[in-house]
Chains A and B, each alone.
Chain A
Amino acid sequence: MAVNFQPIYILASGGSRAVEQLDTITNNIANANTSGFKKILMREISQKIPENVGQTGDLLVFPRFRDTPVINNQGALIKTDNPLDVAIEGEGFFNVETNVGRFYTRNGHFSINNEGFLVDQNGGYILDTNRQRIKLDTNGRVDITTKGEIYQNGRLVATLRVVNLQNLQPVGNGYYNGQEQATERYTLRQGFLEGSNVNIVKEMVEMINSHRRFDIYMNLAKSLDQLEGRLNEIGKA
């Protein structure tokens, strides 16, 4: 056939990208109330059309995504009155030891387990500056200073390990992975949790965007299909 219908694959690929964009947006929206959640952005690649040296294939550029960076800006602090809720203001992540490895989290919803260890909501152990689990007393109020020192009955029990991360990767369950970096630029707030940093207005706009974009790709695909239909009719009459 003389007509090159490869563009229809590009349009289909564009439609798939719009759907993936929607997937990410709905995930952000679903986590709009998740403590310590960080918004995920879908970033597109800007592509150079290769020099056309007489080959039609070189005209074609498939829409692609480059990466999905985690947007690590501050979420709002929400007062909970729970003495074991700790929010990080500024940089940094708490270090958690789970049975599948060590992770990092901004979700400071902690509790004491039945053995007296400080754990997160999945039962993972919170680590101190020596990367040891933190054991608390049965008695006495827990006081956590802005730098993460945990005091009980006037005694310093441990200091929470807070490190900053680069190249954040979401793992799920509120956990992240990345390259550790020392930081001092944080203030801990006891009795608060950090809300997610999802901006629901932006997400709605992005949702409309991905929807329209999808429609455009699909309409073009339909037009191409109709074009092909017409071509088949030539010579029939």
Chain B
Amino acid sequence: MLRALWTSASGMEAQQTNLDVISHNIANVNTVGFKRSRANFEDLIYQDIRDPGVLSSTQNRVPAGIQIGLGVKVSDVAKIFSQGSLIKTDNPLDLAIQGDGFFKIEMPDGSEAFTRAGNFQLDNEGYIVNPEGYRLSPNIQISAPETVINISVSPNGKVVVVRNSGGQQTTEEVGDIKLYRFMNQAGLKAIGQNLFKYTEASGEPIEGDPNTDGFGKITQGFLEASNVNIVEEMVNLIVAQRAYEVNSKGIITADEMLRTVSTLKS
């Protein structure tokens, strides 16, 4: 059968994946701390019909051969960790990272996960938790929350609470928020709920204090918006759809040729 059939099919398949990635980005355009992905493609192998450099006659060598490519595949879907814009919320436990780094979250099974989404809350025991109720790690506990009148988080991660107990105001340092970064953050594995797990490709997490050694600073009262650019995604959507269509024309052409062949002998 014709190679063109499968070549075009590979193109359609790649564009389908592209569409999946784009629609996922668009679906998460308002997700706090979301990082957009981009599908990258590469060509498949080539079949040599005539090898370059063979003798064309007794003396002459052909400078270039005849090579037929076999289509395309998705090489990777890379997360792009560019900074999202900050949105003011005035909530004291909404924390945005300006610069590199992730918060560490303790999963219910004891494993670690990492996130850029800084929409934290206090749970019934006074621990700082994410919206799913998973604790921020290292754990920070604020005891007797009813006496707390203010929580402040400094750009370098110090959490200080102001209490009003018995008519007297006291300040108390309750802990430090650490940030984590990776040799290759594109190698992180997204597991949903805005969380990432580290892999062999990303390398082990490197711990550091916010606002030092290239780690980003923490901005209290703000959230980091997703870095999805809706205009760009719409353009990508159009490109993907048209590419899909044109590839399907390749299949139609190949199919019509096959029909011609099959009607050759009457």
A interface list, Cβ under 8 A from B:
15, 18-20, 22-35, 37, 40, 42, 65-69, 80-82, 107, 109, 111-116, 121-122, 138-141, 167-174, 200, 203-204, 207, 210-211, 214-215, 218, 221-222, 225
Q: B149 an interface residue at 8 Å Cβ cutoff?
A: no
Within 8 Å by CB of B43, from A18, A31, A82, lies A31
Within 8 Å by CB of A26, from B43, B227, B250, lies B250
Instruction: Let me know if B260 and A170 touch, CB within 8 A.
Output: no
Instruction: Let me know if B64 and A33 touch, CB within 8 A.
Output: no
User: CA A154 – CA B203 in complex, angstroms?
Assistant: 24
Closest beta carbon of chain B to A197's beta carbon, Å: 13
Instruction: Let me know if A67 and B65 touch, CB within 8 A.
Output: yes
Closest beta carbon of chain B to A122's beta carbon, Å: 7
Instruction: Let me know if B71 and A30 touch, CB within 8 A.
Output: yes
Instruction: Let me know if A32 and B64 touch, CB within 8 A.
Output: no
User: CA A54 – CA B55 in complex, angstroms?
Assistant: 30
Contacts A31-B72, A138-B183, A218-B264: A174 and B64 contacting too (C-beta < 8 A)? no
How many chain B residues touch A (Cβ–Cβ < 8 Å)?
67
Contacts A19-B2, A218-B261: A114 and B203 contacting too (C-beta < 8 A)? yes
Q: B119 an interface residue at 8 Å Cβ cutoff?
A: no
B interface list, Cβ under 8 A from A:
2-4, 7-8, 10-11, 14-15, 18, 38, 40-46, 49-50, 52, 62-72, 75-76, 78, 80, 82, 181, 183-184, 186-187, 200-203, 206, 213-214, 227, 239-240, 242-243, 246-247, 249-250, 253-254, 256-257, 260-261, 264-266
Contacts A24-B69, A116-B183, A171-B46: A215 and B260 contacting too (C-beta < 8 A)? yes
Instruction: Let me know if B72 and A222 touch, CB within 8 A.
Output: no
Instruction: Let me know if B246 and A200 touch, CB within 8 A.
Output: yes
Contacts A67-B62, A211-B253: A112 and B239 contacting too (C-beta < 8 A)? no
Closest beta carbon of chain B to A60's beta carbon, Å: 19
Contacts A107-B42, A140-B214: A20 and B11 contacting too (C-beta < 8 A)? no
User: Can you identify 13 A-B contacts, CB atoms within 8 angstroms?
Assistant: A22-B253, A26-B3, A27-B71, A30-B11, A40-B69, A65-B66, A68-B67, A81-B80, A113-B201, A121-B78, A167-B63, A174-B75, A200-B243
Within 8 Å by CB of A174, from B43, B201, B254, lies B43
- Taking CB atoms, residues of chain B closer than 8 Å to A33 are 14-15, 18, 41, 72, 239-240, 243
